[in-house]
A and B are shown apart, each in its own frame.
Chain A
Amino acid sequence: MNMNEFILILGMALVTFLIRYPIIGMSGRIKLSPQFLQLLSYVPPAVLTAIVVPAVLIPTGDQILLDYTNARLIGAIAAILVGVWRKNLLLTIVVGMVAFFAWQWLLSFT
């Protein structure tokens, strides 16, 4: 590992830790209002959706692709359907992946 790499990893580790830890570290002195706690209950689904939607709908990173040539979209639809139907996390992930790969394979013939 050269110096450049060392600084890169040290820097990344430091900024990430300084985001994750300090609030938890001083949590003993923090009191959150019920209104604020209510806001926080929306954090997990809101963040995850904000990550997933562009990842699925903008597969090439430049434009929204809303048709059958987008294998990610097909995989995502399969995952949503199975997730809502069976309520099983592992099954949702596996079926989503399989649908995505199968569709990508089918598209390779077109």
Chain B
Amino acid sequence: MSTGRVRSVSSTPFSEFLSGCRGIFPLVVGAIPFGIIYGTLAASSGLSLAGTLAMSAFVFAGSSQFIAIGLLASGTVVPLIILTTFFVNLRHLLYSISIVPHVQQLSQSWKLPLGFLLTDEAFVTAIDRYNQPDSSPYKHWYQLGASTFMYLNWILCTWIGVTIGHQISNAAEWGLDFAMSATFIGMIIPYLKSRSMLLSVVSAGIMALLMYELPHQLGLILATLTGIFVGAFIERLNSRR
């Protein structure tokens, strides 16, 4: 299920960029309905057209944008929405740490866009490429291609949502947000190749349910950490045997 296994030693920046676009394509498809309902809902939450598009262009973090417009519609004050955004997006910290070994040789003019565009989808796609055994010196071009495609698609879908939103007033009730769950399930499955990964995922899932009531997405962070430590612990047990 992973992307672009076969790659010759003669990869070029451009070929890597294109493979990145290809690699993230399924996730881009999965993000389309999500982006469209975001645009639709934002319009009805009171956010202006410019504000809705600006949020997609400058924040570029789907789930936090969703929560923000929900809070906005219910009259939550701005500082509290920003604080919630911080907690919802805190998981990206783990992504940026994970990407460290692969980007540390790059210049700041590379690190800046790669950091700004670091979404769930771009991260999972890029880390898959970085972990492939070939020694292509242009793997960061792959990440740039994947990230850029995701970004442009997100803005386009937001625009479509805002434009056609009023014509499909009850779009939110269709459950299009399930597209995100289906996408994430597809992203998880290729990882489940060992017992430690399986147990990591199961424990993260159970903890996420148990901790669901905690405020500020704290449950998400705790469940993630549980999954990480359970997985690593089982792996160490196995390797000692």
Contacts and interface: CB of A to CB of B under 8 A. Distances in A.
Contact of B185 (A5, A40, A58, A80): A80
Nearest to A11: B82
Contact of A49 (B25, B58, B208, B232): B208
Nearest to B30: A93
A103 B39 CA distance: 26
B181 A49 contact: no
Given A46-B201, A50-B208, A76-B185, A39 B220 contact: no
A11 B115 contact: no
- Interface of B: prevailing SS: helix
Most chain B CB atoms below 10 A, which of A6, A32, A46, A76: A46
A13 B96 CA distance: 16
B172 interface: no
Interface size class of B (residues with CB under 8 A): 35 or more
Contacts of B65: 12
Interface in B40-64: 47-48, 50-51, 54-55, 58-61, 63-64
B227 to A, nearest CB: 3
A87 B101 contact: no
A1 B47 CA distance: 8
Contacts of B58: 9-10, 12-13
Interface string B19-36: 000000111011001000
Given A87-B189, A96-B181, 19 more contacts: A5-B47, A9-B55, A23-B93, A23-B96, A24-B100, A25-B108, A27-B111, A28-B105, A42-B197, A49-B184, A50-B204, A50-B208, A50-B220, A54-B212, A64-B209, A90-B26, A92-B1, A93-B29, A101-B174
Interface of B: 1, 25-27, 29-30, 33, 47-48, 50-51, 54-55, 58-61, 63-65, 68, 72, 78-79, 81-82, 85-86, 89-101, 103-105, 108, 111-112, 114-116, 118, 120, 123-124, 127, 174-175, 177-192, 197, 200-201, 204-209, 212, 219-220, 223-229, 231-232, 235
